[in-house]
Amino acid sequence: MHNGPIQSPCVSICRIDPATGLCEGCQRTLDEIAAWGSLGDDAKRAIWSAIEQRRALRVDGTGRTGLRSSRSA
């Protein structure tokens, strides 16, 4: 189990993608970024979980999952 403060997901690449509303660096919303400093550990963990889900869906910046159709091209 992790002890100590929960690290911020910020990677100092701070640009909001207008198509998704997410920061291109950390994959957080503006509301999540603004609230981070005042959130409790459970809320921070929930944001980290959301980030992991967002990253799993983002393969090439288009939002496509990279899943391939079972049909032949």
Per-residue pLDDT of 3-40, as tens digits, reads 789 999 999 999 999 999 999 999 999 999 999 999 99
Task: Give the per-residue pLDDT at 3.
Answer: 75
Instruction: Please give the Cα distance from 39 to 18 (Å, whole number).
Output: 25
Task: Give the per-residue pLDDT at 63.
Answer: 54
Task: Give the per-residue pLDDT at 58.
Answer: 78
- Residue 43 one-letter amino acid: A
Task: Give me the mean pLDDT over the 51-57 stretch.
Answer: 95
Q: Model pTM?
A: 0.75
